[in-house]
Amino acid sequence: MRAAVLVLAMILPATPGLSQAVNDYPTNARAEYVFACMATNGQTRDMLDRCSCAIDQIASVLTYKDYVQAETVLRMRQVSGERASMFKGMAQMTEIVARLRRAEAEAEILCF
């Protein structure tokens, strides 16, 4: 039994992408989220903890790639003109944002 645990401990870190999938958000992305969250909700230690909890929860639900896609769609929806129209009307874009919104709602329930 102990040998099996040792083998797993050696194999898992060498498995490409496995540990990365658990925490694929770069520190600066997490920090940016926390700063924006605190700017909205208050500059207190309690909000630091709650906002940190929220981005951790979002990261547990969405990959960083999905998070970036949703943030990009949301930013592009704020732009006026023809270029932004595809981000406002396409069902695929709406679903990308909906996944982020669900993750944010879950984070709000768990952290706030």
The per-residue pLDDT for range 40-87, each reduced to its tens digit, is 999 999 999 999 999 999 999 999 999 999 999 999 999 988 878 888
**Residue 4 pLDDT grade (very low, low, confident, very high; cuts 50, 70, 90):** very low
CA dist., res. 86 & res. 32, Å (int): 27
The percentage of the chain sitting over the pLDDT mark of 90, rounded to a whole number, equals 69
Q: How much is the mean pLDDT over the chain?
A: 85
CA 82-36-76 angle, to 5 degrees, is 10
pLDDT at 90 over 80: yes
Q: What is the pLDDT of residue 46?
A: 98
Residue 3 has pLDDT above 80, yes or no: no
